[in-house]
Structure 1
Amino acid sequence: MRATSGILKGLNPTVTIASKVLVIGFVLFCAILANQAGQYFEAISGILLQNVKWFYLGLVTLMVGFLLYLMISRYGHIRLGKDDEKPEFSYLSWVSMLFSGGMGIGLIFWSVAEPMWLYAGNPFTAGLSNESASMAMQLAFFHWGLHPWSVFIIVALALSYFSYRKGLPFTLRSILYPLIGNRIYGPIGHTVDILSVAITAFGISQSLGMGVIQINSGLNQVFGVNIGFGVQLLIIVVLCTCAVASVLSGVGRGIRRLSEWNMLLSLLLVLIVLYVGPTRYLLNTLLESTGNYAQNIVGMSLWSDAQADSGWQNSWTAYYWPWWMLWAPFVGMFVARISRGRTIRELIGGALIVPTLITFLWISVFGGAALKVEQDARLAFEQQAAVLAESGQAPQDAFAGGPVLTATKDDTTRALFTLFDNLDGGALGKLLSVLACVLLATYFITSADSGTLVLCTLDAAGASEPPTMIRVLWGLLIAAIAAMLLYAGGLKAMQAASIIAGFPIAIFIAVMSLTLFHSIRREPQPWAMLPEHVRPEPNRLDDPETEAEPQERWQAAPLSGQ
């Protein structure tokens, strides 16, 4: 008898029990050894960055090239499902769910703070200069553009292909089928899904923890609410309760409607800032930064700071790439869940290119507005210094930053809200801050919602409608992990832990890329799928390189038949 004799009440008992043990063990570790946990995370992450940074950088760059190749190649026509299958969701709903599930909270958190830090200092330009402002936007585009989305999409594409087109279970174990065949239903497959569940739960919780910290900061700035673990715990409880209620209503109702609401509210916030901010400057920034990004993407992708080895990259690019990989199982599975019926070209073009362009717009508006506030502050400082020099007074100290940069250095979570207070004379500051808190809350709910659905799907061996009880349980566990990460050291501990958890996912992504290409190159040529009366002469159909792989090789027994 195999490891799993069947699906017990709709669940895979091996994956369900083992993953819960891992997750609960992690929660207890952070709760009992809070101070030591944060130190352990930082020590191990430092070792990884010192020795395998080249692997992170090279792998993600290869993913971008591989996906762009598939999009324009003959494989782009392949439909992720039956050849006549239609997508479940409209294009607008699909893009809304992509963006909400992929980057919502993180982008709000860093869209102002990151350009501020990079404006203050980066390895390529002098800090607090026009050149550093331009470079800050270019680097922010790089960290939030094609590279992170490629990590998500490679997982979504591989899972969609093997599950929807080849009839394998909707779990990450299916990606290994070309290597190990039906052994994916044994201990190896169970191990892959158990680790996927545990890492996915951690990745979701890390993102939610960031959102809670920023919501707490916004409430403090607007309403004077105290900043502390007690308030943050209350926020987690309230929002995770809403998320559980949403996930019980399913993808077609809860997640879709919340995602569409997120996009509308995001658009409203962008339009307000674009209108009250320096509109001409923001649009010029968008255009210029996109051009700089496109012109320098190859160099940025492969730059590893080999000569100076300053350590700067360890805090930015080499931190971001494993962070995105940590999200990859969760976001990739969610993107696959909502993308059935689309072609490979549609999936890559829609889920890689479109969200990247939306991200560029968001960073240009909010990061650009913050840079303009800083540049105005620097200009005022220089004018005052000139007046003092003319009057014979002693020169002042060098310019150290305006209000947004000062707030960012003091507390990263305050960057966005300080920007709002300095727009339009502060007249709209409180209103924009409230809107941002609402948006953070809805993104929090959507991320927890979609993440819970993914975790339940893994527990239920790929079933699209997991049992209600397991949905509630995962909602509670996600809240507990987020709370314990905050308790164990807040943002710094979460960042260090994400680098560690991203390493095994990086290896898995490398393997899945090979298995996907090995399988997809056996698909028939586009003309071989046309009706016989309009098909060209089949003089190449006997070529083993272009012949479709026999379908019976992919008909693996379901888990319940073991």
Structure 2
Amino acid sequence: MKKSVILAKSGFLKGLNPTVTIASKVILIAFILFIVILANKAGQYFESLSTFLLYNMKWFSIGLVTLVVGFLLYLMVSRYGHIRLSENDDDQPEFSFWAWIAMLFSGGMGIGLVFWSVAEPMWHYAANPFTEGLTNEAASMSMQLTFYHWGLHPWSLFVIVALALSYFSYRKGLPFTFRSILHPLVGDRIYGPIGHVADIITVAVTAFGIAQTLSLGVIQINSGLQQTFGIEVSLVTQTVLIIVLCTIAVGSVLSGVGRGIRLLSQWNMLLSLLLVLIVLAVGPTRYILNVFMETSGNYVQNLISMGLWTDSQNDSGWQSSWTAFYWPWWLTWAPFVGMFIARISKGRTIRELIGGALVAPTVIAFIWLSVFGGSALKMEQNERIAAQQQTVVTQNQVTETNAEPFSGGVVLQATKADSTRALFTLFDNLDSNLLGKLLSVLACILLATYFITSADSGTLILCILDAAGDTEPPTSIRILWGIVIALIAWVLIYAGGLQAIKYASIIIGFPISIFILMMGVTLFYSIRREPKPWAMLPQHVHPCKEKLDGPVEH
């Protein structure tokens, strides 16, 4: 269907969908005002509802995400993997493989992975439902759990969205918006109210997900600047950071995907590689490499059991604080990241998209987590051994001792006090003060560039949704959304609404999970109707074609 027909059917005006554009912004403004005016009550309401959903629907979210992982791996190795995500089977991808990997990784998990690479292993090392805390077994399990939370499962949510959007838009010629995913179910009614509702929900969820992560990124950058340069952690500092970084992000969006976003993403990968190599060189190199190998094996070996574990016997609440909380949170990011991956994946096959956007980022994340999480764990273990030796010496010298049991080293204590300090505390204690400061500065720069790439890629997706699926939206709408995202992030920090938005993400994530389920069904229904690989080849190329398909009618 041609774009002009789509626009006519949808009632678009000057390249914009007024229904989606206006309704989504009304929802955003109303929600933010609710948080600002009734911050305490909003948090209570969201916490109560999210707790109810986690308690009663945990099995559904955990089972769904694991099902998506299995579905994608099946498609990757099946005969459907050859299908090219474009109108013509001889089209080539727009971006090189390495530029593509850099962009999808930067747009997917940049800030979050930097934030949690040390903090999450520390929390699991202190306590988890499988081992006694602060032991070697706890250290091993902490890395396995962290790999699980940042591996195939979250990326599968992004990839299923990217795959469905790429297929229906590039292969079937439907609009580059979420409404197209519903076409096998409702047909051309996607151009009416049903399609509008789908796109409005997508815009609202995307804006919340972006603002939530950007707020977290600004707070961590401020924490790093305070620990490195003594810059005060304050609303003024965070406001300046938002203004500066979002201004750069808007400039990147205006320059387009092929320039600004691509170049910044490649810069992110180079800076990340530099940080990894430095820490790998000065840190416990042998331990880090062992952790990567061992934890990767444990992850693969226990992937199915971890993916289906629901803590049914103890129901301790730990899983609701971690796994069952993570999955709805990732779901709020799925529309944005999935659309962005789809935007940069035209011309690739299903096998290339799944292999590149599911497997490659998972391996990169495992390397990152092993280097930083492994360094922190080794530091904790050394401090625990030193404390135990000191206790023995004290007991040998004095008959009675009041020595307290080991409760964690410097990184764990910093994590418990403030998770944003975990990474910078590791750097401060890794080697010399000068190197620690250098690493902290590099981490702040990396957080800033990940902030920018997340903001500009997210802004681009919001613009595309407003612009009727046009992958090159008008300049004015790009600037407008850049300002709106900056304002939302600032309001969340100003109102102290991060906790409220955290619970709200869980609530929003469950409706998106229904959408993900429908997406898998419509996608599989449609690709099954694709011609078989040999049916797409001339007779002389595949001599078995007639035997496989039967006689060719002339």
Is the structural similarity TM-score above 0.5? yes
Post-superposition offset of 1:490: 4.9
Q: 2:128 matched to 1:122?
A: yes
Q: Which residue of 2 aligns with 1:529?
A: 536
- When structure 1 is superposed on structure 2, of 265-274 and 489-498 the one drifting more is 489-498
- Partner Cα distance (1:176, 1:338) in 2: 22
Question: Given residue 172 of structure 1, which amino acid in structure 2 is its aligned partner?
Answer: F
User: CA separation in 2, counterparts of 1:4 and 1:537?
Assistant: 41
From 340, 345, 352, the counterpart of 1:339:
345
- For residues 480 and 545 of structure 2, the distance between their equivalents in structure 1, rounded to whole angstroms, comes to 57
Q: How does 1:281-360 map to 2 (within 5 A)?
A: 281-360=287-366
Distance 1:426 1:373, change over 3 A: farther
What does residue 546 of structure 1 align with? none
Distance 1:292 1:91, change over 3 A: same
In the TM superposition, what is the alpha-carbon distance from 1:428 to its structure 2 partner?
1.0
CA-CA distance at 1:479 after TM superposition: 1.2
Structure 1 pair 345/320, CA: closer, same or farther in 2 (3 Å)?
same
Sort the Cα spacing of 1:226 and 1:490 in 2 relative to 1 into closer, same or farther, 3 A.
farther
Q: Which piece of structure 1 moves more, 79-88 or 224-233? A: 224-233
> Which has the higher mean CA deviation after the structures are superposed, 428-437 or 475-484?
475-484
With structure 2 as the length reference, what TM-score do the two structures score? 0.96
In 2: Cα distance, 1:40 partner to 1:243 partner = 33
Q: Which runs of 5+ in 1 are unaligned?
A: 544-562
Spell out the pairing of 1:21-420 with structure 2 (5 A cutoff): 21-81=26-86, 82-395=88-401, 396-420=403-427
User: Is the Cα contact below 8 Å between 1:115 and 1:367 reproduced in 2?
Assistant: yes
Q: How does 1:510-525 map to 2 (within 5 A)?
A: 510-525=517-532
1:352 Cα shift? 0.4
Superposed displacement of residue 267, structure 1 = 0.3
Give the TM-score taking structure 1 as reference length. 0.94
Task: Give the aligned residue type for 1:362.
Answer: W
State the identity %: 70
Conserved? CA contact 2:11–2:17, under 8 Å: yes
Instruction: Report if the CA contact (8 A) 2:535-2:545 is conserved.
Output: no
**Is the 8 Å Cα contact of residues 164 and 181 (structure 2) preserved in structure 1?**
yes
Counterparts of 1:471-510 in structure 2, within 5 Å, are: 471-510=478-517
Deviation, 1:4, is 6.2
What is the match of residue 3 of structure 2? none
Question: Do 1:96 and 1:263's aligned partners in 2 also have CA atoms closer than 8 Å?
Answer: yes
CA displacement, residues 179-231 of structure 1 (integer Å, 9 cap, x when unaligned): 00000000000000011011111111111111011001001101111212332
Deviations 1:463-503 (A, max 9, x none): 01111111111111111221222234354333212111111
Gaps of at least 5 residues in structure 2 are 1-6
Contact 2:539 2:545 in 1 (8 A): no
2:487 corresponds to which letter in structure 1? A
CA apart distance, 1:542: 7.5
Partner residue of 1:14? 19
Q: Which residue of 1 aligns with 2:546?
A: 538
Give the deviation of 1:419 after TM superposition. 0.2
SS at match of 1:216: helix
8 Å contact 1:3–1:187 — kept in the other structure?
no
Partner amino acid for 1:407? A
CA–CA separation in structure 2 for the residues paired with 1:205 and 1:96? 22
Q: In the comparison of the two structures, how many residue pairs are matched?
A: 543
Structure 1: distance between partners of 2:243 and 2:446: 17
- Deviation of 1:537 (Å): 3.6
Per-residue deviation, residues 287-312 of structure 1 (Å, max 9, x unmatched): 01101111111111111011111100
User: Letter of the aligned partner of 2:491 in structure 1?
Assistant: M
